[in-house]
Structure 1
């Protein structure tokens, strides 16, 4: 059994597709397939059900996935420990950010980091916050900027960037236009334009509505703040964003603070409680970029 076989196995399991896994590990699909077959032969059990386009784990594959990840993590830890002593950083640092959200300080931190640690390859991707938190805990993502309702879970290390109430974006002519603050009960029956499930803004909205006894009436879900503002300006519904995000659109929409919710919308940096040297070196760059 070879470490590269375990790496390919984990890649196929996480991508649920041999072609995407091959692109991820930078070898041909036939090469990945051959190594997986060799691993299955050694273990005496098929690891994947290949009867459909989706590569689904068999019972044996599910049992093997955790130990395979642990073996790869242990190998990486050995390499990191040696590099840490030698003062050398290399390898890959995977970074996640909220879908549809441009976070300029993150890019500034990447620029500063690359100047000092050119041997580290940075891989950036977008996803929803809930998924990225899960990836941090499993080790498939090193660090992410996520939105949460309230503080991030204690299972990860975190640095809060913004903690603030939600605000409603109201089009001209609406009864709430010009108001400074309303309670969540005012939203009963109002069509809303909101971020999708898995985002901090959406979770905070649902908590705020639930505490006064109703479920929000969702007209449209959109993952980008610009899209929410545009739809709101067209009269599709009341937009809901964090207060600082909403204030980017005061030139064409009224911004009305939503009061009474004890749970703020939080934007935070999260990383594993057992970070690699590359992560430990990156966090101060982020803190400087966000002036924390």
Structure 2
């Protein structure tokens, strides 16, 4: 079994498309198809269901995927050892991030990393499914590192390095009947329409947890993926919000920001890796840079 065939298999599994996999691997599509057929002949089972509309893993392909990733990781670890002796890093670093990353200068971090390690291929993707999607991609081996927000303890199989923890504050339109108070409670807000992130985002999960713990229900009227824009929806009378202090600090005129009494709502931001996999030399080098690119937020 050739390592190259496993790399092609994992790439097709991640892309769910032979053409995109070939483009990512920078080879012709016929070469990818031939490698997959060779692997299927060797194993004696089909690994993909192929139709004109989609490419999907079979049960055998699903079973092979984690073992294939582990084999590729082990081979990369061997290369890392040699590269460190030679004084240079190589390979691919797959990074996931939230749409809004306020506490790390990510462009600066990646620019510094590229200057220091030009032979490492950086791949960055934002998560439309929020922190839950990033965590799942780490656990499944699709990402090497992710900047995310997790409510409570990180899932088993993840190592989390906390970079910031902030209180979640209430944001109300300036003319709201509660805007003149010094603080509000979850009970005060329970009947209001909310502007919030979609399910799976760290701040949404934390606020949902807080309402459930208080035995209260609420209605999310608008779901906004970019937390930096939530206060603008509030300002225009579309609801109230509970968002981290860093996002509330930049709220536009026309809103009132208040502490939440009687509930300890915290937003936690950090950088995570899969604990079941040995971090590559490139991952370790990136983590070493993180502290230098942390941003001190106002307030």
Contact 1:100-1:224 at 8 Å conserved across structures: yes
Q: Does 1:55 align with 2:55?
A: yes
Indicate the RMSD between aligned Cα atoms, in angstroms. Answer: 2.1
In 2, Cα distance between equivalents of 1:3 and 1:260: 56
2: CA distance, partners of 1:236 / 1:291: 31
CA distance in 1, matches of 2:61, 2:255: 53
Query: Counterpart of 1:242?
Result: 244
Post-superposition shift, 1:190? 0.8
Shift in Å, 1:72:
1.0
- 3-state SS, counterpart of residue 260 of structure 2: strand
The 2-side partners of 1:57 and 1:164 are apart by 41
What TM-score, normalized by structure 1, do the two folds share?
0.91
| Higher mean C-alpha displacement, 207-216 vs 259-268 | 259-268
State which of 140, 143, 146 in structure 2 corresponds to 1:144.
146
Query: Unaligned 5+ residue runs, structure 1?
Result: none
Say which is worse superposed, 51-60 or 193-202, in terms of deviation.
51-60
Q: Which runs of 5+ in 2 are unaligned?
A: none
CA distance in 2, matches of 1:153, 1:63: 22
Runs of 4+ aligned structure 1 residues displaced above 6 Å come to none
Secondary structure of 2:150's aligned partner = strand
Residue 90 of structure 2 corresponds to residue 90 of structure 1: yes
Match of 2:254 in 1: 252
Q: Distance in 2 between matches of 1:61 and 1:199?
A: 30
Does the CA-based 8 Å contact 1:17-1:53 persist in structure 2? no
Which residue of the partner structure matches residue 200 of structure 2? 198
Choose the corresponding residue for 1:279, options 264, 278, 283. 283
- SS of the aligned residue for 2:216 comes to coil
Matched, 1:290 2:290: no
Shift of 1:263: 4.8
Sort the Cα spacing of 1:270 and 1:180 in 2 relative to 1 into closer, same or farther, 3 A.
farther
> Relative to structure 1, is the Cα distance of residues 107 and 257 closer, same or farther in structure 2, using a 3 angstrom cutoff?
same
- Tell me the equivalent position of 1:124: 124
Q: 1:151, 1:266 within 8 Å by CA — same for their partners in 2?
A: no
Q: Distance in 2 between matches of 1:102 and 1:18?
A: 36
**Structure 2: how far apart are the matches of 1:207 and 1:179?**
24
Residues 165 and 261, structure 1, Cα contact 8 Å, conserved in 2: no
Cα 1:72–1:246 shift into 2, 3 Å: same
Instruction: Find the residue that maps to 1:258 and give its secondary structure.
Output: coil
User: C-alpha separation between the residues in 2 aligned to 1:206 and 1:260?
Assistant: 15
> Which residue of 1 is the match for residue 23 of structure 2?
23
